[in-house]
């Protein structure tokens, strides 16, 4: 499976201009997570077979490289893809790095179809928003 994650910063900061790279997504974003502005922080792509995980680092967190998105395709049938999505953040607990799952959800996407939007953890003056798409290839 080909997987893609667009990492956005959503906020209600006054005076921010819309990110033109997100023009085709703004309506869907505002319906799902109504913030005043969305800024594209990055786009990551990868591949994973059924039952295998693909990870990409997310910005922020207490520990360097301690926040990540993990996507695991769990089923594919007639162009529909089921993906287990997790956002994990490593925290320091009594001096030890301890992973904590912040988001754990099952997504159903159409191969090559519209993306799914999930809300993530707080980041800077807003929150991370993750736009996930997938295709069977």
pLDDT tens profile 75-100: 999 999 999 999 999 888 898 888 99
- Where helices occur in 2-136 by DSSP H, the ranges are 26-32
Residue 69 has pLDDT above 90, yes or no: yes
Per-residue model confidence (pLDDT) at position 19: 84
pLDDT tens profile 10-29: 999 877 777 888 988 888 88
Structure-token pair, residue 35:
């913030």
Mean predicted lDDT score pLDDT of the chain: 92
Q: How far apart are CA 48 and CA 55, in angstroms?
A: 10
pTM of the model: 0.91
Sheet holding 54-57, edge to edge: 54-57, 67-77, 80-93, 96-110
Per-residue model confidence (pLDDT) at position 116: 94
**Mean pLDDT in residue range 45-73:** 91
Per-residue model confidence (pLDDT) at position 16: 77
Sheet holding 116-123, edge to edge: 37-47, 2-11, 126-135, 116-123
């Amino acid at each position: 499976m080909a997987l893609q994650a667009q990492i956005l910063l959503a906020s209600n900061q006054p005076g921010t201009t819309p990110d033109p790279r997100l023009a085709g997504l703004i309506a869907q974003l505002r319906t799902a997570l109504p913030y005043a502005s969305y800024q594209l922080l990055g786009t990551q792509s990868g591949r994973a077979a059924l039952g295998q995980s693909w990870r990409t680092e997310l910005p922020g967190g207490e520990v360097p490289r301690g926040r990540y998105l993990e996507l695991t395709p769990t089923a594919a049938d007639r162009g529909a893809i089921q993906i287990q999505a997790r956002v994990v953040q490593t925290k320091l607990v009594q001096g030890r790095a301890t992973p904590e799952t912040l988001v754990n959800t099952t997504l159903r996407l159409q191969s090559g179809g519209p993306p799914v939007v999930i809300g993530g953890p707080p980041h800077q003056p807003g929150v991370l928003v993750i736009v996930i798409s997938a295709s069977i290839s």
